[in-house]
């Protein structure tokens, strides 16, 4: 099939590449010239395991190409996915201006039937606005359909998630759109939830909000564990064997971040409010998440007393492992809180350093965890990269001014840390 992705970011680029790998002809459009030039020259703008090889393979087979021209993308395709960013506005609502711009541009360019699919995460009823926008800008008066096909990939495992989906959600208004999308998704061999556009839009917001709720729930339980001497790891394990609860998303820690959970929660709360429902549950999910980040700083303070002029080492900056994405990373809040009290920060992340350098001022970026440990009063684990689990902790201890570790991701065993001579505090243990 001939497919265009408008927006070649974490979603558009990876999904487009996976569709190409299944034999489709895919063209990725982005208005960021630097990104498109890099892709055209064989570079890849994001870190995502397995992506580089897959892009190279499909470009080599002439099934995947890149352009800044939406006209070129629309002309070359029958299905057009809108995968632009939908960032939060200051009031929590989703900024849909990029979606509107792209809808208008597609409408003005299309000369034959097009199926326009919203892939970006958007509030319920956006599909209707896309349809309206296309209708009023339909210069050549061609037939078109709008559909919703939310994306559930996780960064860091995006290629795997797209190729092995738990389910495919498709919202349509016509049999023609349904037929095309069923055919496109046949090779994935996953259950297809076929529904109306509004339900598909709501499935995405409800899914992300539910997962975020699970994280805040376990973080709240972790706080009870800390006060009573119970161990959150065992509590989560004991809960997780119940298949109705499941083990996933029960890792207590320094809170959730990323470009999606915080933004989608805020947007869901906002759209609920707009329709007269006060989604208090989700507001509390946000509150608990904000408190978790403050908890990390409180733990540092309790361990070192005065924060001013203390050297604090941060291991892990990305919002989760296996990505270079720094958007809404909990490490940003924690570092800013520590800096506001006068702490001196050293940091290392295996892949997010370049992006982190664009965000942080007055931080010493180090070449590895051992350089971070050199002379610091306390080490804080903010991202559970595998390589931190394997470091030589005795060497780390020798290098530190004081052997204190605040483990915001519970990657070490408290008993072993005690044995090694660390003052060690995890979350909920």
Least distance in angstroms from the C-beta of 359 to ligand NAD: 15
Interacting residues with ligand UGA between 314 and 343 (CB under 6 A)? 319-320
| Among 18, 260, 366, 378, the one annotated catalytic | 260
Integer Cα distance of 8 and 23 in angstroms: 19
Q: What angle do CA 190, 166, 51 make, to 5 degrees?
A: 95
| Site track 75-94 with ligand NAD (rule: CB under 6 A), x = hit | --------xxxx--------
Query: Could you tell me if 7 and 85 are in contact, meaning their C-beta atoms sit under 8 angstroms apart?
Result: yes
Closer CB to ligand NAD, residue 38 or residue 420? 38
Integer Cα distance of 133 and 307 in angstroms: 53
Query: Could you tell me if 106 and 80 are in contact, meaning their C-beta atoms sit under 8 angstroms apart?
Result: yes
Closer CB to ligand NAD, residue 58 or residue 85? 85
Query: Could you tell me if 231 and 213 are in contact, meaning their C-beta atoms sit under 8 angstroms apart?
Result: no
Choose among ligand UGA, ligand NAD, none what residue 319 binds, the Cβ cut-off being 5 to 8 Å by kind: ligand UGA
- Verify binding: residue 9, ligand NAD, rule CB under 6 A: yes
Closer CB to ligand UGA, residue 260 or residue 366? 260
Interacting residues with ligand UGA between 249 and 268 (CB under 6 A)? 249-251, 253, 256-258, 260-261
Least distance in angstroms from the C-beta of 31 to ligand NAD: 4
- Residue with nearest beta carbon to ligand UGA: 260
- Verify binding: residue 65, ligand NAD, rule CB under 6 A: no
Choose among ligand UGA, ligand NAD, none what residue 83 binds, the Cβ cut-off being 5 to 8 Å by kind: ligand NAD
366 catalytic, yes or no? no
Q: How is residue 182 written in tokens?
A: 């069923």
Least distance in angstroms from the C-beta of 205 to ligand NAD: 10
Number of residues that bind ligand NAD (CB under 6 A): 26
Q: What is the DSSP string of 340-405?
A: HTT-EEEEE-SS-HHHHHHH-SSEEE-SSHHHHHTT-SEEEE-S--HHHHTS-HHHHHHH-SS-EE
- Verify binding: residue 7, ligand NAD, rule CB under 6 A: yes
Sign of the four-CA dihedral 362, 367, 368, 370: negative
Residue 374 burial by CB count (10 A; 0-12/13-18/19+): exposed, middle or buried? Answer: middle
Q: How is residue 405 written in tokens?
A: 């570790």
Interacting residues with ligand NAD between 260 and 289 (CB under 6 A)? 260
Q: 248 CB contacts (<8 Å, ≥6 apart)?
A: 240
Which residues are tagged catalytic?
260
User: Residues in the site for ligand UGA, rule: CB under 6 A?
Assistant: 121, 151-155, 208, 211, 215, 249-251, 253, 256-258, 260-261, 319-320
């Amino acid at each position: 099939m001939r497919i265009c992705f408008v927006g070649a970011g974490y979603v558009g680029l990876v999904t487009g590449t996976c569709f190409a790998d299944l034999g489709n002809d895919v063209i990725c459009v982005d208005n960021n010239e630097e990104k498109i030039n890099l892709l055209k020259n064989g570079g890849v703008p994001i870190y995502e395991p397995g992506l580089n090889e897959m892009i190279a393979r499909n470009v080599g087979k002439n099934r995947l190409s890149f352009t800044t021209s939406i006209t070129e993308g629309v002309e070359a395709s029958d299905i057009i996915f809108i995968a632009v960013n939908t960032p939060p506005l200051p009031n929590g609502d989703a900024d849909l201006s990029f979606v509107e711009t792209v809808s208008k541009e597609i409408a003005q360019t299309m000369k034959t039937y097009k199926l326009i699919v919203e892939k970006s995460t958007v509030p319920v009823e956006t599909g209707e606005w896309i349809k309206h926008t296309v209708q009023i800008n339909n210069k050549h008066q061609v037939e078109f359909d709008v559909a919703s096909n939310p994306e559930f990939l996780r960064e860091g495992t995006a290629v795997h998630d797209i190729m092995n989906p738990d389910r495919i959600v498709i919202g349509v208004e016509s049999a023609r759109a349904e037929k095309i999308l069923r055919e496109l998704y046949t090779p994935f061999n996953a259950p297809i939830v076929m529904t109306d556009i509004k339900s598909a839009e709501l499935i995405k917001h409800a899914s992300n909000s539910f997962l975020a709720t699970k994280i805040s729930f376990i973080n709240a339980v972790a706080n009870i564990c800390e006060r009573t001497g119970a161990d959150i790891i065992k509590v989560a394990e004991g809960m997780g064997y119940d298949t109705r609860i499941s083990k996933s998303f029960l890792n207590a820690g320094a809170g959730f971040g990323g470009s999606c959970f915080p933004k989608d929660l805020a947007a869901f709360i906002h759209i609920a409010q707009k329709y007269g429902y006060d989604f208090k549950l989700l507001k509390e999910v946000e509150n608990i998440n904000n408190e978790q980040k403050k908890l990390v700083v409180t733990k540092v303070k309790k361990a070192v007393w005065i924060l001013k002029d203390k050297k604090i080492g941060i291991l892990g900056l990305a919002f989760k492992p296996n990505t270079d994405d720094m958007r809404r990373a909990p490490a940003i809040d924690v570092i800013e809180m520590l800096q506001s009290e006068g702490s001196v920060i050293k940091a290392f992340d295996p892949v997010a350093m370049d992006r982190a350098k664009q965000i942080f001022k007055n931080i010493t970026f180090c070449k590895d965890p051992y350089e971070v440990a050199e002379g610091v009063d306390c080490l804080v684990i903010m991202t559970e990269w595998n390589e931190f689990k394997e470091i030589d902790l005795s060497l780390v201890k020798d290098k530190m001014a004081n052997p204190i570790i605040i483990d915001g991701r519970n990657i070490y065993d408290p008993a072993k840390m005690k044995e090694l001579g660390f003052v060690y505090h995890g979350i909920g243990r």
